[in-house]
Amino acid sequence: MTTPFASDINEIDAFYLRADLLRPEFGCWDACDLVSHCLLDLVEAQTEITHAIDDDVSYGVGGDPAIQAGVAKLTAAAKKLIAVLNDRKCWPEVLR
């Protein structure tokens, strides 16, 4: 028996579908929201880690220092997001 809401889309395909659906909705309102800026910082740091790992594996450049720099950037972005989420005074007034 299958569950009524089971998906035939695997997790990776579902991730790409979700990103493609949400990306067009990311716009002017988000530019005024510090949480959105923090989310972009997280995505940027994660992308840098991915590129650092790929560069290390594919070309033998960057190595551990580049990967660790990306991890440090990701950690800083995560801490900033937590701080912004906890400080509602910096949120747009309509969300407070």
Whether residue 30 contacts residue 45, with contact meaning beta carbons closer than 8 Å, is answered with no
Domain boundaries, the chain: 32-95
Residue type, 19: A
Give the per-residue pLDDT at 58.
97
State the Cα–Cα distance between residues 43 and 88, nearest whole angstrom.
22
What is the Cα 71 distance to its own chain's centre? 13
Give the per-residue pLDDT at 94.
75
Give the per-residue pLDDT at 91.
79
Give the per-residue pLDDT at 3.
62
Helix (H) or strand (E) holding 51: helix 34-59
DSSP 88: G
State yes or no: pLDDT of 17 exceeds 60. Answer: yes
